[in-house]
Structure formats: structure tokens, C-alpha cells
Amino acid sequence: MSTVVSNPAAVVAAPTGYRPRLNIAKWLSIAAMLLAALFLLLPILVIVPLSFGDQRYLSFPDGAWSLRHYLTLLDTAWLSSILQSLGLAIVVGLVSTALSFLFATGIWLEPRYRVLLTALVLLPMIVPQVVSAMSIYYLGARVQQLDSLIGVGFGHLMMALPYSLIAMLVAYSRLDTSLYKASRSLGAGLGMTIVQVLMPNVRGGLAGSFFMAFIMSWEEVVVTLFTSGLHVITLPKRIWDGLRYNLDPAIAAMSTLMVFLTLVVLLVRLYRHDHTSSPGR
């Protein structure tokens, strides 16, 4: 009991939540965490200045900052890879979203084989990517679609579908099936119900589904490495080639753009999450 009396600060501080008091251990752990933060952010801190180097090779800007590496990105080779990746990602995003939407809608209305079928679709997410890449390579070899946009795109689709579907399932998990029954009992057909009632209600899921599939395709490396060659050179494949043999400074420029985009998307998401989540957070 005496300890309670001897430590009144803990009792007084109680209503605001448990906080360890200031002391050496706390500052040590904060210092260690800052080191961990530095470790996590180090790559980003390095890439950005490198991208403004003014030499032909990879270097830090020595007094003179330059955009020459960014201009390199507009060269035919880089630009065609960027456009190829962009096109693939958009198509994969659309197809993946459409398939996920149909499946999630159906399983929401008729959940009988829900667990089994969902597990089946999520398979490519759980299996190591190299193993998936082998399977896609096998398929490509069998149907003569290696090193073609169709073959690579199909591989991207397989890798994107699980993430796309999760976004869709989350959206539907917040929807009550009575909405469907109401729409049908008011005389709307299935097609009309889907387009005019369900789609508006899961539009966040549709957007998330497309976003996830887009990102998965945009960043896909492993399946692309297995199934592409001379004709299909997506952006990640070009970066991979640039990393294997030398360090192409254009990669620094591309990376800086990606860091910037990632930061923007992340801030928007955190901001929206902050304003939509419960106050208990």
C-alpha cells in the first residue's frame, strides 16, 4: 500500500491515460526509434538530391542543380516504358475492378460458397511471387504469349485480383442486403439494381479496387521478369535492368517522382482516414 502513497503522480496522471514518466529509458527508446526512422527514411533522403545531380553519371549535385535526369525520362526508351506501364496498369485496373465487382456482388447476394471461392481468388496473394511467376510463365509458354502485352498483362491481372477483390469485399461488408431486396421489390430488375443502387453504394470500393490493381500492375516486377523479354519492357523492368548492370541516374529522377506521388497519396489517405474514422482512435 505504501507504494501507492509514495507515487501519487501516477494516480493523478491516470485520467489522461497511462504515460511512462520522463526518464533516461524513455529518451533512450525515443532516440532508438529516431534511428529506426532514419533507417526507414534513409533511402528516400538519398534519392531526392541524387536526382538533381548535374553529371552524366550518378552524383550528388555539387553546387549546380540540374534537371537533366528528368529530361532523360522523356527519351524514347524511358517514355515508351512509362507509357507501356501506364497503359497496362489502366487496363489491368479496369478488368480487375470489373471482375471483382461482379464476384463481390454475387457472393454478397449468395454467400453459400463464400469462404472457399474467396480463398481461391486470394491464392496469388499468399503464394510467393516467384511461384506465381512460374505458373504464369508456364501458361505463357503453352499459349505462345510470352513477351507479349497480353501475356504480361494477364500475369499482372492474376497478381492484382486478390488486392482488388479485398477492397471490393470490404465495401460490400458495410452494405445490408435489405437494400437489394428493397430495390427489387420496388420493381427494379437485377441490372438496374446493380447499376443504380449497388454501384453508387460501393463506389468507394470500386475506386479502391481500381487503385490497388493499378498499383500492383504499375509496380509488378517478378511476373514481368519471367514473362517478358525484348518487346515488353515495362517501367519496373527497365529499372531492374538499370540496377543490375550500372546505376542509371534516370532511375533517381523516376524514383523521386514516385516518392513524391506516394507521399501525396499517403497524406491524402491519412487525412481522409483521420476525418472519417471514429474519434476513439
Partner 1 sequence: MRIYALLILPLPLLIVVGYLLPTLGVLGWSLSLPKVGLQNYATILDSAAIQTVIWRTLRICLLTTVISVAIAYLIAFRWRFASARGRLLIELFVLLPFWLSMLIRAFAWLVLLRNDGLVNQSLMGLGLVDEPLALVRNELGALIGMVHFMVPYAVLPLLSSMRQVDDSLLRASSSLGAGRWQTLREVFLPLTLPGVAAASATVFVFSLGCFVTPALLGGGKAAMLAESIYIQMFQLSNWGLGAALSIVLMAMVAVCAVVFGKLVGFGRFTGRQA
Residues 117-156, interacting with partner 1 (CB under 8 A)? 117, 120-121, 123-132, 134-139, 142, 154
Name the one residue in this structure whose C-alpha cell is 487525412: 271
Question: Considering only residues 183-202, where is the footprint of partner 1 by CB under 8 A?
Answer: 190
Q: Which is nearer to partner 1, 12 or 74 (CB)?
A: 12
Nearest approach in angstroms of CB 32 to partner 1 is 6
The three grid cell numbers given for residue 215, joined into one nine-digit string: 498499383
Q: Which is nearer to partner 1, 90 or 117 (CB)?
A: 117
Q: Following DSSP, what letter does each residue of 84-125 receive, concatenated?
A: HHHHHHHHHHHHHHHHHHHHHHHHHH--TTHHHHHHHHHHHH
Nearest approach in angstroms of CB 261 to partner 1 is 10
* Residue 44 makes contact with partner 1 by CB under 8 A: yes
Residue 51, CA atoms < 13 Å, CB-side half-sphere: 21
Eight-state DSSP code of residue 195:
I
Q: Which residues of 222-235 are buried (b: 16+ CB within 10 A; e: fewer)?
A: bbbbbbbeeebbbb
Tell me the CA distances in angstroms from 9 to 5, 15, 29, 48, one per residue in order.
9, 11, 22, 47
Judged by CB under 8 A, the stretch of 72-80, 85-93, 180-188, 246-254 that binds partner 1 is: 246-254
Question: Considering only residues 89-118, where is the footprint of partner 1 by CB under 8 A?
Answer: 99-100, 102-103, 105-107, 109-110, 113, 117
The binder of partner 1 chosen from 76, 178, 244, 278 (CB under 8 A)? 244
Q: Which is nearer to partner 1, 33 or 182 (CB)?
A: 33
Nearest approach in angstroms of CB 204 to partner 1 is 19
Question: Considering only residues 260-279, where is the footprint of partner 1 by CB under 8 A?
Answer: 262-263, 265-267, 270, 274
- Per-residue contact track with partner 1, 49 to 68, x per CB under 8 A? -x-------x----------
Q: Phi-psi region for residue 206, left (φ > 0), alpha (ψ -120 to 50) or beta? A: alpha
- List all residues 6 or more positions away from 265 whose beta carbon is below 8 Å from its beta carbon: none
CA distance linking residue 205 with residue 99, whole number of Å: 13
Nearest approach in angstroms of CB 74 to partner 1 is 19
Nearest approach in angstroms of CB 4 to partner 1 is 5
CA distance linking residue 148 with residue 231, whole number of Å: 7
Judged by CB under 8 A, the stretch of 71-79, 81-89, 175-183, 233-241 that binds partner 1 is: 233-241
Q: Which is nearer to partner 1, 29 or 80 (CB)?
A: 29
